[in-house]
Structure 1
Amino acid sequence: MIQQSQLVSAIVVFDIDGVVRDVSGSYRRAIADTVEYFTQGAYRPSLADIDVLKSEGVWNNDWEASQELIYRYFEAQGQQRNSLELDYHAIVTFFQSRYRGPDPENWTGYICNEPLLLQRSYLEELSAGGIAWGFFSGATRGSANYVLEKRLSLQSPVLVAMEDAPSKPDPTGLIATVQQLIRYEIDRLTPVVYMGDTVADMYTVEKARSLYPNRTWIGVGILPPHVQESPQRCDAYAETLKIAGAKVVFSNVQELTPAEIQKLL
């Protein structure tokens, strides 16, 4: 981590899902499982279907995204959503049984097999380059800490998770992450870079900028692995992120080196 005596040139805040870890076979698989279950097997959304929903910029919470896809399926069948008796708690419970596993204390679900998209050495490189870093994610604190502390062996990283702030694109969590990092005697106008893989992430940066225009806020888009299967899909996703406000888009988080950060500033 940054030493208090060290000159800090930038703050980098990371989203986690799709940036730090590949969730195409975990969170997004759990969304598909959940929608399929609550539509009685009639509809299983593809990764592209989920991307289309998330491109609207307001479905960062995967439990709510699952519920919305269920609603939209039944609406397409001619049913009104206010006539459906969806139990949100049951949706969350089912989703978690797939993502974490059936035992909430001993996780055996999809989370156990998420590929990492960055290494601890990359974070150490940022620190050595005078760049402070932390995490703001819509994942639960337990899920976020599973990857940060158990997988990456980070000790008490600065983290704002689902329980700590409203869902993106509300910028409260991003601002809270920055405020925690400012405790380390960082200049209060130090530029902030937020790295995310969704439209909601880029909108969050825009909203933070509108609240605190004196600080430089930079949105950096990261292409999640599942969209990199074809050049056409990759280009379309990158364009979507740029339209939403991304200053630049990378295919992997570790491409944003200290040198690249200085270029953005």
Structure 2
Amino acid sequence: MNREQSESSLTVLPGPVVVQCRPYVIPPKPKFIDLPLGNTERVIVSEEEAETLNSILSKFDANSIVGYPNSSELQQLLAERLEVLPDRVLVTAGADEALERALESVLGPGRELIVTSPTFEMIPIYARLAGGNVRQIPWLDGAYPVDGVLEAVGADTAVIAVVTPNNPTGAVVSLVDIQRIALAVPHILILVDMAYSEFADVNLTGDLLNHPNVVMTRSLSKAWGMPGLRVGYAVGDAQVISWMRRAGGPYTISGLSLSIAEERIRQGEESIGVYVQRVRAERSKLTTLISELGGRPLPSQANFVLARFENARWVRDGLAGLGIGSRSFSDNEELKHTLRISCPGDQSAFARLEHAFKAVLNPEAILFDLDGVLADVSASYRMSIIETAKSFGVSITVDDISAIKARGNANNDWQVTQRLLLDHGLALSLAEVIGRFESLYQGTETEPGLRATETLLVERPWLELLGRRYSLAVVTGRPRRDAERFLHDNGIRDLFAALVCMEDAELKPSPMPVRLALRHLGVTRAWMLGDTPDDLVAARAAGVVPVGVAPPGEVLESAKNTLIEAGAACVLEKTEQLMEKLK
């Protein structure tokens, strides 16, 4: 049973530091995004690695979760790999806890953290929660501002945080710069976050172990692909590690996570190396591709690329329309024109990402649904549905039609009519429905049908202008006779190099008619304008950017919401607004 709670019932006040801190928020993933590359964890595990992980999981039973966890075996294993004594290693609940403990160990009221900006946003949050002050030095691209960092050091500075490769930029800090800082301020803790170090050109760990005021944090979430376990670690001077042990609870990682991580490290070294090499190759290709398409990628040695775009929001939305997630930073002044895209480390997924970028930023063709996009059918097809139902004694409204269209699989208006009648308790054969529908729509020799009310929603000169830049096609669920007649009667048939109709392929939401149009045009990259979820689903499945158009005669906001929920990259109020997006 859910109980409603009044906001005014709570009289307890939060601490002032909590009030000042913004929560770390992961943007929600729309249901139509199936390749989420906006975050930085692995999203695809190879069959071989899946077998390894399943084999590891099969070894555990109820005894694995009975009793308090003990991290000593994993601590010993990590120490051996790092060639240090175990007392220099602390196993933590992800690298996040290692960062938090390190900052808790040395910060407090009157003490200060120096960190660059932008960077991993939890570092300043942890520092403030520890009671410390935060001073941020700008570093978006170019060389690490080592002089600026050292000049910022004051009497209150207790810790300097260095993230390399940096998140969200992917930039790296050289060994020389970190050593220079460590030697210049031996009384200050140098906290080096190396969550993405496996993807970097140089591993700094061995050299930095020689500096007593340097603590490094590492993660098994990124290259190792186990973010769900929440396992990371810190390595540094034994005394600093002992402080960090005191700065948190003794049992922060589950026993099952510890055991799985240990087995994974013993078995997974080779597969991790293969994955890292794939990511590095993809990162190079993605950087080149974005440059060729007019973006400005920043040099990266992480598993992602951050790039500036003239219209970053559209690139984000266009990729999302094709089912690919990316990370935007619209609320960050430094990053509001950028996107971060992670490399999937998978050949098929990366090919899809390449195609999506090309389709969004360099389309070869524009495909149009006919009804509601080129033709106003609010008084023809939709009225034919209403009048057909009425002739059988059933009252159907425009809202009823919009609702059934929104549910999908509604590209055939004869079948839509039949389904609506059935919803009202009247079961008729499709032949009966078609006969009545067509008599109303087509008309007779003495009485014009409802098709006579159809009007063109765009001007021929607009289509001509569009056709000078792109190949044009129509993909419709109409019978060919009706589609050809409308296009000819309105003087625009010659502008379309391809016309795919009901008789040519399975109806939308199947991608088949969209793919057929691409083949007829001889192109692979396109946008498609449609006014129903079926249009958008078909386009996305065919690798075509889905652009929604609010159909005439419907409530605008309701129509927009329906199309956005179906995965439209954007929704146009009128078809001719397309030109603004293409700019």
Report if TM-score (shorter chain) is over 0.5.
Answer: yes
Are residues 1:219 and 2:546 paired?
Answer: yes
Are residues 1:73 and 2:395 paired?
Answer: no
Are residues 1:108 and 2:448 paired?
Answer: yes
Q: Distance in 1 between matches of 2:444 and 2:514?
A: 32
Contact 1:198 1:241 in 2 (8 A): yes
Q: Secondary structure at the match of 1:155?
A: helix
Partner of 1:240: 562
Are residues 1:122 and 2:444 paired?
Answer: no
Which 4+ runs in 1 deviate beyond 4 A?
none
Residues 157-176 of structure 1: per-residue CA shift (max 9 Å, x gap): 31000111111101111110
Q: Distance in 2 between matches of 1:261 and 1:68?
A: 38
Are residues 1:31 and 2:350 paired?
Answer: no
Q: Which has the higher strand share?
A: 2
Q: Which has the higher contact order (CA 8 A, sep 6+)?
A: 1
Q: Distance in 2 between matches of 1:57 and 1:207?
A: 14
1:16 alignment partner, one of 358, 370, 377: 370
Letter in 2 for 1:93: G
* Unpaired runs of at least 5, structure 1: 1-7, 76-83, 183-187, 210-216, 228-232
Could you say what the CA RMSD is over the residues aligned between the two structures, in angstroms? 1.8
Q: Distance in 1 between matches of 2:502 and 2:495?
A: 17
Structure-2 change in CA distance of 1:152 and 1:107 (3 Å): farther
Q: Distance in 1 between matches of 2:419 and 2:375?
A: 24
Are residues 1:97 and 2:439 paired?
Answer: yes
TM-score, length-scaled by structure 1:
0.79
Contact 2:463 2:495 in 1 (8 A): no
1:200 alignment partner, one of 534, 537, 541: 534
1:168-179 mapped onto 2 (5 Å cutoff): 168-179=508-519
Partner of 2:408: 57
Q: Distance in 2 between matches of 1:107 and 1:208?
A: 41
Q: Distance in 2 between matches of 1:25 and 1:50?
A: 13
Q: Distance in 2 between matches of 1:260 and 1:220?
A: 10
Contact 1:119 1:152 in 2 (8 A): no
**Comparing 244-253 and 146-155, the one that deviates more:** 146-155
Q: Secondary structure at the match of 1:194?
A: strand
2:577 alignment partner, one of 232, 255, 263: 255
Deviation at 1:153, TM superposition (A): 4.0
Q: Distance in 2 between matches of 1:195 and 1:107?
A: 33
Q: Secondary structure at the match of 1:12?
A: strand
Deviation at 1:241, TM superposition (A): 0.3
Are residues 1:139 and 2:473 paired?
Answer: no
Letter in 1 for 2:397: S
Deviation at 1:87, TM superposition (A): 2.2
Q: Secondary structure at the match of 2:370?
A: coil
Structure-2 change in CA distance of 1:11 and 1:58 (3 Å): same
Letter in 1 for 2:567: G
Structure-2 change in CA distance of 1:107 and 1:137 (3 Å): farther
Deviation at 1:102, TM superposition (A): 2.9
Q: Distance in 2 between matches of 1:98 and 1:197?
A: 23
Structure-2 change in CA distance of 1:240 and 1:141 (3 Å): same
Structure-2 change in CA distance of 1:9 and 1:193 (3 Å): closer
2:491 alignment partner, one of 152, 161, 185: 152
Q: Distance in 2 between matches of 1:47 and 1:201?
A: 19
Contact 1:100 1:107 in 2 (8 A): no
Contact 2:467 2:495 in 1 (8 A): no
Q: Which has the larger radius of gyration?
A: 2
Q: Secondary structure at the match of 2:375?
A: coil
Structure-2 change in CA distance of 1:168 and 1:93 (3 Å): same
Q: Secondary structure at the match of 1:163?
A: coil
Contact 1:20 1:118 in 2 (8 A): yes
Q: Distance in 1 between matches of 2:531 and 2:570?
A: 12
Q: Distance in 2 between matches of 1:115 and 1:177?
A: 24
Contact 2:389 2:421 in 1 (8 A): yes
Residues 194-216 of structure 1: per-residue CA shift (max 9 Å, x gap): 1000011111122213xxxxxxx
Amino-acid identity (%): 31
Paired residues, number: 221
Partner of 1:212: none
2:430 alignment partner, one of 44, 63, 88: 88
